[in-house]
Amino acid sequence: MKYMLMMNAMTTGDRYAGVTGWQKEAVQVHIAFLKSLTKSLRESGELVTTEGLAVPDQARIVRAGKDGAVMTDGVFPESKEFLAGYWIVDVTTPERAYEIAAKASAAPGPDGSPLNMPIEVRQIGGPPPEFL
């Protein structure tokens, strides 16, 4: 079963991926932790893919207008949480996906202690078959 683990850690105006205002060393420790998590998932064969996204000021909302015209807008609600990055893992149970999410959650923060940030975990797969 494939699960997507999402860090929705960025907000409007965040200059860096949830780490704006941190000391450089704290950022490096944080990123090294996440990289080593990715490496261990790759070694265990559980990692399908992982990506980190650009900061919110580079985000645009695009809609089709009349006749399919491209309409872009850069204004988001202040409450919006932006996806900072994600992992897709292939695991045999949801519990294993939650375990991996908890590891990501415990990434070190600005003072080196675990952030215990929320990680959204969702199974990959489109609408249930009754819709198709």
Partner 1 sequence: MKYILMMNTMKLGVDPFPGWSKEDIHNMIKYMIDFNKKLKAAGELLSAEGLSFPEQAKLVRAGKNGEPITDGVFPESKEFLAGYWIVDVATPERAYEIAATASAAPGLRGEPLNIPIEVRPVPSGPPPEIM
Binding site for partner 1 (CB under 8 A): 4, 6, 16-17, 19, 24, 27-28, 31, 49, 51-56, 58-65, 68-72, 79, 81-83, 88, 94-95, 98-99, 101-103, 105-106, 114, 116-128, 131-132
Give long-range contacts, CB 8 A cutoff, 24+ apart: 67-74.
none
- Cβ nearer to partner 1, comparing 69 with 111: 69
CA dihedral 113, 43, 86, 125 (to 10 degrees): -140
Amino acid (one-letter) located at 78: E
CB of 120 to partner 1, least distance (A): 6
CA distance 99 to 75: 36
- Cβ nearer to partner 1, comparing 43 with 95: 95
